[in-house]
């Protein structure tokens, strides 16, 4: 199978690690990059060394680690000019508020900022800091300055932080950084297989109100759907992501429409599909939509009463996947659904494929103990419509990161929509369920 990560093979990366608790994630980042054939050299700031040691970074990167601008040995062996220019890309992760400020000011008062100022290579920053530091006007002004100079940015994401606060400022996860780096190199390779194609992706949960303060929901984090949107965009597609309530950063290069309820998600999806220039080519329904809603949500907070808990009358939500799969001028050429099951995964997924009218189903096991909901990894089966509705073709993929599942699915979509390549992209031969 052709994978977007193949662009990383043989690439040289200079990783600048600045101070912050998120520095520990760089150990995993280095490991993931090395697995994909990237040569990683690292520069640690003085602050970074309070969180990770040069020894641990050197052990994982299998390269000398650089820390001191005034090291006679390091300067004679490599020198900060060579260090900054022998890489294909310079990545600052985590990028603290301090190093962003010094980069914006053009300072060169340690090895990291000196190498950054001396480089003639593209630079990517991955911010990580307290939410108040991130939203401070000074930090935002520094980020705008750097972006105006052509420096790329990944994140930050929103969520719980080590300081106990909640909001934007979390460093994105290592595999998201790997995907961002792969997307950068893919962009430099010329025309992409999905250039000119339009895609609509749904992601995350929906929140169905009980009253103004309570709602029905599920455990979906949106990580898989957001990764699919990013992977399609990396292959050149014009992507609209219809997202339920999540704490994830917007995928790069993706148009995002935020919704709360299933009804809002359906309306936004249909609007995106019915653009003035014609229907979208691809719809991927990865959202975990609530099957039911309260028939009549209360206008005020429901209070406890002497008669015990209130009775909630439920109504069925619209079936987004089935609706988008209906034949008609607005139907995309390829409609892909997701099936999250806790048992009999393949049987339920095959039934869903036959019932909904979509072209493919991506099925996964979300039972307790799998770690799929909210986790970073996934193990899926791709079911494609076969000669008979009750006998789809199935490919079982190994357990992968959600980013890699998304890249593999996006490549399969690209291969299917291309008239010049085979329909199957799996190393396994599809077999009837």
Assign residue 418 the CATH number of its domain. Answer: 3.40.50.10300
Pair 109, 45 in one domain: yes
Q: What is the C-alpha separation between 51 and 53, in angstroms, rounded? A: 7
Q: Provide the annotated binding site.
A: 291, 301, 318-321, 338, 352, 356
The answer to whether the CB of 310 falls within 8 A of the CB of 252 is no
Pair 211, 176 in one domain: no
List Cα–Cα distances, 280 to 25, 203, 330, 358, 385, in angstroms: 37, 17, 8, 15, 20
Residue 115: partners with Cβ closer than 8 Å, 6 or more residues away: 14, 16, 43, 80, 83, 84, 90
Enumerate the H helices of 106-239 as residue ranges. Answer: 111-118, 131-135, 137-148, 174-187, 223-234
Domain boundary among 133, 152, 187: 187
Pair 205, 231 in one domain: yes
Pair 259, 116 in one domain: no
Which are the catalytic amino acids?
163
Angle at 95 between CA 94 and CA 97, to 5 degrees: 130
Pair 176, 258 in one domain: no
Pair 257, 165 in one domain: no
Give the residue from 30, 42, 33 showing the smallest Cα distance to 7: 33
- Segment 60-72 shows an average pLDDT of 86
Domain that holds residue 160: 4-187
Q: What is the pLDDT of residues 215-249, one digit of tens each?
A: 999 888 899 999 999 999 988 899 999 999 998 88
Give the residue from 142, 145, 141, 175 showing the smallest Cα distance to 157: 175
The answer to whether the CB of 225 falls within 8 A of the CB of 254 is no
Domain boundary among 187, 210, 229: 187
In this structure, is residue 192 part of a structural domain? no
pLDDT at 385: 86
In this structure, is residue 139 part of a structural domain? yes
pLDDT at 165: 67
* SS3 category, 159: strand
Pick the more confident residue, 276 or 236. Answer: 236
The answer to whether the CB of 426 falls within 8 A of the CB of 395 is yes
Q: Provide the annotated binding site for CTP.
A: 291, 301, 318-321, 338, 352, 356
Count other Cβ atoms within 10 Å, centred on residue 138: 12
Pair 256, 335 in one domain: yes
Give the pairing type, strands 393-396 and 431-432.
antiparallel
Give the pairing type, strands 39-44 and 65-66.
parallel
Q: What is the C-alpha separation between 313 and 293, in angstroms, rounded? A: 9
Q: What is the C-alpha separation between 393 and 64, in angstroms, rounded? A: 49
Pair 179, 210 in one domain: no
Pick the more confident residue, 396 or 76. Answer: 396
Distance of CA 57 to the CA centre of its chain: 25
Give the residue from 52, 120, 49 showing the smallest Cα distance to 80: 120
- pLDDT classification of 30: cutoffs 50, 70, 90: very high
Pair 202, 177 in one domain: no
In this structure, is residue 418 part of a structural domain? yes
In this structure, is residue 232 part of a structural domain? yes
In this structure, is residue 193 part of a structural domain? no
Pair 225, 288 in one domain: yes
In this structure, is residue 274 part of a structural domain? yes
Pair 11, 118 in one domain: yes
In this structure, is residue 101 part of a structural domain? yes
Q: What is the C-alpha separation between 284 and 351, in angstroms, rounded? A: 18
Determine the longest span between alpha carbons in the chain, in angstroms: 81
* SS3 category, 46: coil
Domain boundary among 168, 187, 206: 187
Q: Which two tokens stand for residue 239?
A: 């992507």
pLDDT at 255: 92
Q: What is the C-alpha separation between 226 and 36, in angstroms, rounded? A: 22
Which helix (H) or strand (E) element contains residue 314?
Answer: strand 314-316
pTM passes above 0.75: no
pLDDT at 419: 58
- Segment 265-282 shows an average pLDDT of 86
In this structure, is residue 131 part of a structural domain? yes
- pLDDT classification of 250: cutoffs 50, 70, 90: confident
Q: Which two tokens stand for residue 14?
A: 């200079």
Tally of domains in the chain: 2
Indicate which CATH number applies to the domain containing 142.
3.40.50.1950
Q: What is the pLDDT of residues 408-427, one digit of tens each?
A: 999 999 999 975 443 333 33
- pLDDT classification of 46: cutoffs 50, 70, 90: very high
Q: What is the C-alpha separation between 409 and 335, in angstroms, rounded? A: 12
Tokens 């052709």, located at residue: 2
Q: What is the pLDDT of residues 146-166, one digit of tens each?
A: 998 889 999 898 766 666 666
Pair 243, 360 in one domain: yes
């Amino acid at each position: 199978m052709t994978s977007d990560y193949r662009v990383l093979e043989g690439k040289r990366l200079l990783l600048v690690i600045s101070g912050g608790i998120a520095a520990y994630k760089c150990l995993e980042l280095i490991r993931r990059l090395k697995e994909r054939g990237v040569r990683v050299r690292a520069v640690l700031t003085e602050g970074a060394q309070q969180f990770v040691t040069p020894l641990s970074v050197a052990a994982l990167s299998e390269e000398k680690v650089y820390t001191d601008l005034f090291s006679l040995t390091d300067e004679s062996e490599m020198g900060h000019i060579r260090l900054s220019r022998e890489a294909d890309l310079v990545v600052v992760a985590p990028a603290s508020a301090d190093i962003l400020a010094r980069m914006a000011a053009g300072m060169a008062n340690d090895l990291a900022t000196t190498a950054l100022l001396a480089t003639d290579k593209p630079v990517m920053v991955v911010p990580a800091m307290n939410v108040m530091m991130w939203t401070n006007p000074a930090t935002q002004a520094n980020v705008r300055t750097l972006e105006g100079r052509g420096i790329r940015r990944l994140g930050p994401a929103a969520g719980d932080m080590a300081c106990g606060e909640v909001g934007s400022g979390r460093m994105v996860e290592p595999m998201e950084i790997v995907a961002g780096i792969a997307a950068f190199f893919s962009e430099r390779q010329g025309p992409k297989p999905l250039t000119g194609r339009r895609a609509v992706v749904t992601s995350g949960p929906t929140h169905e109100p009980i009253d103004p303060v309570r709602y029905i929901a599920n455990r979906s984090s949106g990580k898989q759907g957001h990764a699919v949107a990013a992977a399609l965009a990396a292959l050149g597609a014009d992507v609209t992501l219809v997202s339920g309530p999540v704490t994830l950063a917007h995928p790069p290069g993706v148009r995002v429409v935020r919704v709360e309820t299933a009804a809002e998600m359906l309306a936004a999806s249909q609007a995106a599909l019915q653009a003035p220039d014609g229907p979208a080519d691809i719809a991927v329904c990865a959202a975990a939509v609530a099957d039911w809603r309260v028939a009549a949500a209360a206008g005020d907070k429901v209070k406890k009463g002497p008669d015990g808990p209130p009775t909630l009358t439920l109504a069925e939500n619209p079936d987004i996947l089935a609706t988008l799969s209906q034949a008609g001028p607005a139907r995309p050429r390829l409609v892909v659904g997701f099936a999250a099951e806790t048992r009999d995964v393949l049987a339920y997924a095959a039934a869903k494929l036959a019932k909904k009218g979509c072209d493919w189903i991506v099925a996964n096991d979300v039972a307790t103990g799998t770690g799929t909901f909210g986790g970073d990894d996934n193990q899926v089966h791709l079911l494609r419509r076969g000669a008979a509705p009750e006998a789809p073709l199935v490919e079982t993929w190994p357990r992968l990161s959600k980013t890699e599942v998304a890249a593999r699915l996006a490549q399969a979509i690209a291969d299917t929509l291309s008239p010049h390549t085979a329909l199957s992209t799996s190393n396994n031969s599809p077999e009837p369920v």
